[in-house]
């Protein structure tokens, strides 16, 4: 679904009618803007029944990998019931060649906002709620 009244804002949702009430899903909304500094984005991500840190399913500065969190992925009664994060990313092109190839840098941050865990105070199966700050190099040709 897309917010047609919100310039630069896109919401991605992949839902199927799960036969299992614990089936995982993901919801992401992102606002992207190209500025003189570089490409900036901010938004939110929500996932259900995904026990690993969100940084394992979101590429650097990118969107949620719905294949990984899709309903075909194995569900678990020990997974956190839901995780919500705020996201922000920046990408800056450092050099561009005449043929269009470029090199740049990128960074993003994932900040946990709310996690509902179904565990009973067991740290081995409770959600990992730490912030993630990641940096990388972008090569395009």
pTM of the model: 0.72
3-state class (DSSP) for residue 14: strand
pLDDT value of position 54: 77
pLDDT tens digits, 59-108: 887 777 766 655 444 556 566 577 889 999 999 999 999 999 999 999 99
Alpha carbon distance 141, 137 (integer Å): 13
DSSP sequence for 58-115: S-TTS---HHHHSTTSPP-TTS-SEEEEEEEEEEEEEEE-TTS-EEEEEEEEEEEEEE
The tokens for 81 are 């019931």
pLDDT value of position 96: 94
Alpha carbon distance 80, 116 (integer Å): 6
Question: Which residues sit opposite 132 in a β-bridge?
Answer: 110
pLDDT tens digits, 7-16: 655 555 554 4
């Amino acid at each position: 679904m897309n917010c047609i009244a919100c310039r630069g804002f896109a919401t991605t949702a992949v839902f199927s009618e799960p036969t299992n009430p614990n089936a995982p899903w993901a919801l992401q909304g992102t606002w992207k803007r190209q500025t003189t500094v570089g490409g900036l984005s901010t938004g939110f991500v929500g996932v259900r029944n995904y026990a690993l840190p969100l940084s394992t399913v979101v590429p650097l500065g990118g969107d949620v990998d719905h294949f990984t969190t899709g309903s075909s992925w194995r569900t678990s009664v020990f997974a956190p019931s839901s995780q919500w994060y705020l996201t922000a990313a920046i990408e800056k092109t450092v050099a561009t060649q005449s043929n269009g190839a470029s090199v740049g840098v990128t960074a993003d941050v994932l900040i946990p906002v709310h996690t509902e865990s179904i565990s009973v105070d067991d740290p081995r199966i409770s959600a990992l709620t730490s912030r993630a700050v990641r940096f990388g190099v972008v090569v395009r040709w």
